[in-house]
Amino acid sequence: MDVAANLDTILSHIKQSCNKSNRNPEEITIIGVTKYVTIERTEETIKAGITNLGENRLEGFQEKYNHFNNRAKWHFIGTLQSRKVKEVVDQVEAIHSLDRLSLAKEIDKRASKQVNCFIQVNVSGEESKHGINPKDLLPFVRELAPYPNVRVVGLMTMAPHINDEQHLRKIFRDLAALRDMIRDSNFSHASCEFLSMGMSNDYQIAVEEGATHIRIGSKLVG
Ligand SMILES: *Cc1c(COP(=O)(O)O)cnc(C)c1O
């Protein structure tokens, strides 16, 4: 399928989910995850109107960034090793995987401007998942205050790859409640308005539960 046709389907699903949950589709940013696809397919994605792109590995990010540069806004969505921070930090619209203080320190040190960061939270509690434990979130946000280049714009989670709708809904709802808690704490370094959650398998549920950034790979470009 071409990307434009896939996008039509996704947009109509988003509309349905917004109707159900009384939301405005304009609140939702689709991040096209191009990690598995070629430059050509990425070109097609940009031409279909997707201008926010996500990559989860440094090599993939650099290949696409060097080719497309500011034709897209780049989201780093994968685990980021501290020694690689300097290679992405000034190029990206946002980092979605802030999960430890050492990474925040490195971002602060290497960036020449403020960096939009989503804190990755392991809501599902799966051991294989990265992200900080929900109970450590508030202290972690407090610890980030001394690093002026780190702006906490939202929270991110990855749900397990399951089809249990109630379970997925609970994970997204839990992340939304954590977001509310941080946002309503009014930290000057952590406006925390956004929710990066929902992928090909579960984005409709995520939108119903308040996602502002959905990260879609296979159903868009696959
Ligand atoms: C690969 C990936 C996605 C997209 O996954 P799909 O299931 O292909 O939509 C979203 N978020 C992260 C962090 C990823 O690594």
Residues 101-120: pLDDT tens digits?
Answer: 999 999 999 999 999 999 99
From CA 66, how far away is CA 128, in angstroms rounded?
32
Question: Over the chain, what is the mean pLDDT?
Answer: 97
What is the mean pLDDT of the segment spanning 22-49? 98
Query: Which of 119-128, 176-185, 194-203 comes out lowest in average pLDDT?
Result: 119-128
Would the CA dihedral through 15, 16, 22, 23 be positive or negative? negative
Q: Is the CB of 200 under 6 A from ligand 1?
A: yes
- Ligand 1: which of 10, 31, 33, 35 to mutate, judged by most atoms within 8 Å of the beta carbon? 33
Name the pLDDT band for 127 (thresholds 50, 70, 90).
confident
* C-alpha to C-alpha distance for 55 and 73, rounded to whole angstroms: 11
pLDDT classification of 179: cutoffs 50, 70, 90: very high
- Asked if residue 128 has pLDDT above 80, the reply is no
Nearest atom (ligand 1) to Cα of 201: 7
Question: What DSSP string describes 114-140?
Answer: -EEEEEEB--S--TTS-SB-GGGHHHH
Q: Whose CA is nearest to atom 12 of ligand 1?
A: 77
Tokens at 212, concatenated: 């502002």
Q: Is 117 in the pocket of ligand 1 (CB under 6 A)?
A: no
Judge if the beta carbon of residue 199 lies within 6 A of ligand 1. Answer: yes
pLDDT of residue 129: 73
CB-ligand 1 contact for 131 (6 Å cutoff):
no
Architecture (CATH level 2) of domain 3-221: Alpha-Beta Barrel (3.20)
pLDDT tens for residues 134-169?
A: 999 999 999 999 999 999 999 999 999 999 999 999
Amino acid (1-letter code) at residue 39: I
- Whole-number Å distance, alpha carbon 188 to ligand 1 midpoint, is 30
Interatomic CA distance for residues 132 and 98, integer angstroms: 9
Ligand 1 nearest atom to the CA of residue 203, by list position: 9
Say whether pLDDT at 216 is over 80: yes
| pLDDT at position 5 | 98
Q: What was the pLDDT predicted at 133?
A: 96
Q: What's the whole-number mean pLDDT along residues 25-39?
A: 97
C-alpha 136 to ligand 1 mean position (Å): 25
pLDDT of amino acid 86:
97
Confidence (pLDDT) at 126 = 79
What pLDDT is stored for residue 2 in this prediction? 95
Structural domain boundaries of the chain?
3-221
Measured from the CB, is residue 95 less than 6 Å from ligand 1?
no
User: For 74-92, how does the pLDDT look when each residue is reduced to its tens digit (9 = 90+)?
Assistant: 999 999 999 999 999 999 9
Give backbone dihedrals phi and psi of 219, rounded to 5 degrees, phi first: -75, -15
Is 55:35 a contact under the CB 8 Å cutoff?
yes
Nearest protein Cα to ligand 1, atom 11: 215
What is the pLDDT, as a whole number, of residue 125?
84
124 CB within 6 A, ligand 1: no
Q: Write the burial class of residue 181 (CB in 10 Å: 0-12 exposed, 13-18 middle, 19+ buried).
A: middle
> Cβ(84) to ligand 1 under 6 A?
no
Among 121, 199, 218, name the best residue to mutate to test ligand 1's pocket (greatest count of ligand atoms within 8 A of Cβ). 199
